[in-house]
Structure 1
Amino acid sequence: MQNKINKITDILRRDDGISGAMHYSEQISWILFLKFLDDYEEELKLEAILDAKNYKSILEEKFSWKAWAAPKTNEGKLDVKNALSGSDLLSFVNNELFPYLKSFKDNENFKSIEYKIGGIFEFIDNRIANGHTLREVINLVDELSFSKESDVFALGEVYEKLLKDMGSDGGNSGEFYTPRPLIKAIVEVINPKAKERIYDPACGSCGFLVESFLHILYEDRTKNKKANLSVEELEFLQNEALFGKEKTPLSYAMGVMNMILHEVKSPNIIKTNTLNKKITDITQSERYEVILANPPFGGKEKEQIQNNFPVKSNATELLFLQHILKSLNNNGRCAIIVPEGVLFQNSNAFISVKKDLLENFNLECVLSLPSGVFLPYSAVKTNVLFFSKGKSCICSDDDKVYYYELIPPFKLTKNKPLEYAHFKEFLKCYKERKITANSWLVSKKEFEERNYDLSAKNPNLKEEKILRTSEEILNSLEENLKTQQEYLNELKSILK
């Protein structure tokens, strides 16, 4: 499957309407989604026949994949005579198909697949400028099948690669992608379970939600071995467990698609600015057992938004942290990625929120990430805060915070990114709070004494004086003598 997607990518790069990974990923996505939807409908039709029930198709016949994208002959081959191409195909897609799919947003049933289709296509348009290129891509996608679980699993992996390509593009496309090794490690620590509700208030392409879904669904993903979930637990996982909010239109569309392509039948994703809601209005039904988030940071919010929070600040990261603290259920647990500044900032607003975190929640672990985790679109150094509310859920010692400094064996760059293997020691150490050269404990009383500065300053590291080699010393002396001679010659010429 990956080889075909690579081939499609190469084809799209030649199209005049496509500019960069963001565009080709977006365009492959909507075509893949419609093929997946067609295979999904075939399964639903088969189930209806087995149950002796009538089945009503999601899409009208004219707009089904088999009608416009890949009509077949009796031999099962592409019906070239009836398959649209060139300007005819572009005209149908742009003037009929997309307006039809966008109209689904008027559906009032939030949980229905129809509503999700409308949500996706409301913010996506066809950018492929050449109808023959579009036909070439459609033919390749039609060769893919999503009728088996293994096919769908492979599709999910391919889609994650597309999202990664968008993130690697830099710029604004960074909002689509949190490195999957980091997400996987965080989810492993938090360990979401069946029948728990999981929430991401800035879900982007839904990486945390998809990883949580797979974490619960599979006992061993490498062997494709499913966990022993009851029918009730599986239904809850697919329809009632996963919640997210996303402000950016394209991120929202890609996120919903990501979840559906991973077989989350009813992703509860809302397109909204999470910070628009007053946190005093958050009800018990809007509190969750698990919260996982990498909220946007570095942004500035207007006073109108700031008024929704008891501690006013124009820093988005501080507003999101307050929202998350209010949205965490009793005995719930959370992991949030924050910029380094949140730890050491000493303004009244930052101190107040950190004091609330330490006094009313169990801050259990601070994972200090290396610089370069979010390259190329951000060089900001970040940390992960792991905490719980009420009964401690992650580790046992409530009086001390466990710090771990992640140090990869090489400097992270765009071409040498973070790997899951880099978390191996951390994942072993955090439960036992094992003290190593990269980990240490800090008492909560100490935080009070240093005015709630949570900075990750490793006390195990001793400053080493770097001694120069004899060759370096000689080179330096030679350079100094050369400079002195130049000055001497210049002085002589002046005195003549």
Structure 2
Amino acid sequence: MARRKATEQEPAAPRQRLGSVIKRIRDLMRTDPGLNGDLDRLPQLSWMLFLKAFDDKEQEWPVERPDYQPLLQENYRWRTWAGNDRFTGEPLVEFINDDLLPRLRALGDTSTSADLASKIGHVFQGVENRMRSGYQIREVLNEINKVDFTSSKDVHAMAELYESMLQEVRDAAGDSGEFYTPRPLTKFIVQQVDPRPGETVLDPAAGTGGFLVETLEHLGMERAESVRERRDIERSIRGIEKKPLPYLLAMMNLILHGVDVPQVESGNALALLRQSASPATQVDVVVTNPPFGGAESPDVVKAFPKKYQTAETAWLFLTAILDKLKPGGRCGIVLPNGVLFGEGVGTRIKERLLKECNLHTVVRLPDGVFAPYTSIPSNLLFFEKRADGRKAEQIHDIGGWATRDVWFYEIVPPAGSKRYTKTKPMRFEEFAECTAWWGGRGRDGRVENDRAWMVSATQLHEAGFNLDVPNPSSGDDLAHRPPHELVKELIETEHEILAILAELQSSLEATR
């Protein structure tokens, strides 16, 4: 028999088919006067996708959970209002704005913050329908109805498409003063911290869920062979996010990666961590990039022990994480240079870190990793809490510290580059040499080289707990570099800044 040629009648692959659906939706949204740019369009699409996914799941759950009762009344279920082709125009807009969204927000008033109703209520606390045309909304709903969230192929394809859209909204959000952790960093941190099945993993600054999604992939969520195995992985992943938009995006991101009911809390992480600072709520692993450079409210600061009180969020997150980790727990965290050399309260927190945890590795990142949103140099700190759970106050000499030596490793940009930029970002492959040097789970066989050096706890104590230790092999300091090279680099930097400003100006003019 002759081999049949591909025809237009053959169904398209899920990625291709859903890519066309998303493109059609975005084209429709661009014509609606209420939406202005990706910072409006992706949240609008996200809450609609969320309700479609939830409705599809509600039709599945009674099979897995015979006692499950639908959360929403019939007229508020997606299949009822979004599935009705004749429900359109102004009546549809009025229903969404005046009835549906207020009803969903009210679910957050339930007393138990961990239950499903409350989680959905918190998702919709900051949600608004920004589309003005009920006819455009109807067309968008009809496109979303082509997505089947009970199909693993559709979910997988949507997850890939959604991640690419998240990257776009992260870029747009960066122009508004927010920035998110680049995927290569989340992947490397999770890889090196190495969460294992059965361990609880927390990101207290979850953002759009990048660390949590990376952890799911690391734990093999897609390879889980049973419902029970998937549920165990789901329950082990936890997050906290303060801002409504990232919270919505994180919930949708996790749902698209196979999590039915994401264990992400909405609220001020520092306040929530202090409220639950008991051994029963401790976790095995923390992977995070907390906000830094900001100031926390006095009532939150006062909830911390007096000797560790500071308005700087990065210090407070580090302190809270030390309390949140179980004995033997592990952490990978992004922190700015200021934390390494900070004094006063910072010195006390670093002393506590070295006493209670084995700070085994500091990875020094090059300039531009978070370009163009911030030029603040940053570092990755990896540490393990001591197994005996002893507190800093119980340890009085260096011999009893959990940290004996700290290894530093310097990541450098590719040859020919001094820093990363928005157009030439960091790639995961650039961590390959560090991964090879790392020495696996046991960190065996580490040696000093032109990128790696070791400093003893005694040296750090004598230096006043200053962790801002430069690479002794580096000759790239300002005092020894030729003037013509410095001038050339300054000119290149100015050109990069002008290009970014020109791009921003074009974006602003396009939205006028």
TM-score (norm 1): 0.82
Deviation at 1:434, TM superposition (A): 4.4
For residue 365 of structure 2, the aligned residue among 356, 369, 391 is 369
Aligned to 1:351: 347
For residue 334 of structure 1, the aligned residue among 331, 337, 340 is 331
Aligned to 1:291: 286
Distance 1:104 1:97 in 2: 11
Alignment map for 1:153-232 (pairs within 5 Å):
153-171=156-174, 175=178, 177-218=180-221, 226=223
For residue 273 of structure 1, the aligned residue among 256, 263, 268 is 268
Instruction: State percent identity of aligned pairs.
Output: 36
Aligned to 1:33: 50
1:461 and 2:479 matched: no
Aligned to 1:491: none
Deviation at 1:156, TM superposition (A): 2.3
Aligned to 2:253: 258
Distance 1:66 1:281 in 2: 39
Alignment map for 1:10-159 (pairs within 5 Å):
10-45=27-62, 56-71=69-84, 80=85, 82=86, 84-159=87-162
1:368/1:403 contact within 8 Å kept? yes
What letter matches 1:197 in structure 2?
Answer: T
Q: Deviations over 1:36-61 (max 9, x none)?
A: 1232223235557xxxx576433322
Q: SS of 1:169's equivalent? A: helix
1:439 and 2:452 matched: yes
Distance 1:211 1:108 in 2: 31
1:365/1:402 contact within 8 Å kept? yes
2:354/2:403 contact within 8 Å kept? no
Distance 2:133 2:447 in 1: 59
Aligned to 2:464: 451
Q: Deviations over 1:79-128 (max 9, x none)?
A: x4x2x222222122212221222222233454443322212112211111
Deviation at 1:305, TM superposition (A): 2.9
Gaps of 5+ in 2: 1-17, 389-401, 489-512
Aligned to 1:417: 425
What letter matches 2:97 in structure 1?
Answer: N
**Would the alpha carbon gap of residues 7 and 177 (structure 1) be closer, same or farther in structure 2, given more than 3 Å must change?**
farther
2:207/2:246 contact within 8 Å kept? yes
Distance 2:195 2:46 in 1: 28
1:299/1:315 contact within 8 Å kept? yes
**Would the alpha carbon gap of residues 277 and 120 (structure 1) be closer, same or farther in structure 2, given more than 3 Å must change?**
closer
Q: SS of 1:12's equivalent? A: helix
Aligned to 1:74: none
**Would the alpha carbon gap of residues 467 and 55 (structure 1) be closer, same or farther in structure 2, given more than 3 Å must change?**
closer
Aligned to 2:399: none
For residue 381 of structure 1, the aligned residue among 377, 382, 399 is 377
TM-score (norm 2): 0.79
Distance 1:173 1:332 in 2: 36
Give the alignment's Cα RMSD to 1 decimal.
2.8
Q: SS of 1:299's equivalent? A: coil
2:126/2:245 contact within 8 Å kept? yes
What letter matches 2:30 in structure 1?
Answer: R
1:200/1:209 contact within 8 Å kept? yes
Aligned to 1:304: 299
**Would the alpha carbon gap of residues 14 and 316 (structure 1) be closer, same or farther in structure 2, given more than 3 Å must change?**
same
Aligned to 2:396: none
Deviation at 1:448, TM superposition (A): 1.5
Distance 1:254 1:379 in 2: 26
Q: SS of 1:437's equivalent? A: coil
Aligned to 1:403: 408
Distance 2:110 2:189 in 1: 36
1:317 and 2:303 matched: no
1:163/1:177 contact within 8 Å kept? no
2:224/2:230 contact within 8 Å kept? no
**Would the alpha carbon gap of residues 378 and 14 (structure 1) be closer, same or farther in structure 2, given more than 3 Å must change?**
farther
Distance 1:67 1:279 in 2: 43
Distance 1:185 1:3 in 2: 32
Q: SS of 1:135's equivalent? A: helix
What letter matches 2:470 in structure 1?
Answer: K
Distance 2:461 2:67 in 1: 66
Aligned to 2:393: none
Distance 1:467 1:69 in 2: 66
Q: SS of 2:205's equivalent? A: coil
Distance 2:123 2:483 in 1: 59
Distance 1:403 1:3 in 2: 47
Distance 1:193 1:111 in 2: 24
Gaps of 5+ in 1: 72-79, 219-223, 473-496
What letter matches 2:364 in structure 1?
Answer: S
**Would the alpha carbon gap of residues 29 and 467 (structure 1) be closer, same or farther in structure 2, given more than 3 Å must change?**
closer
Deviation at 1:426, TM superposition (A): 1.7
Q: Deviations over 1:383-406 (max 9, x none)?
A: 1110001159xxxx9532121112
**Would the alpha carbon gap of residues 66 and 465 (structure 1) be closer, same or farther in structure 2, given more than 3 Å must change?**
closer
1:238/1:264 contact within 8 Å kept? yes
Deviation at 1:295, TM superposition (A): 1.0
Deviation at 1:280, TM superposition (A): 9.1
1:338/1:385 contact within 8 Å kept? yes
Which of 117-126 and 8-17 deviates more? 8-17
Deviation at 1:24, TM superposition (A): 0.9
Deviation at 1:467, TM superposition (A): 9.1
1:371/1:381 contact within 8 Å kept? yes
Distance 2:280 2:48 in 1: 36
Deviation at 1:269, TM superposition (A): 2.3
1:187/1:208 contact within 8 Å kept? yes
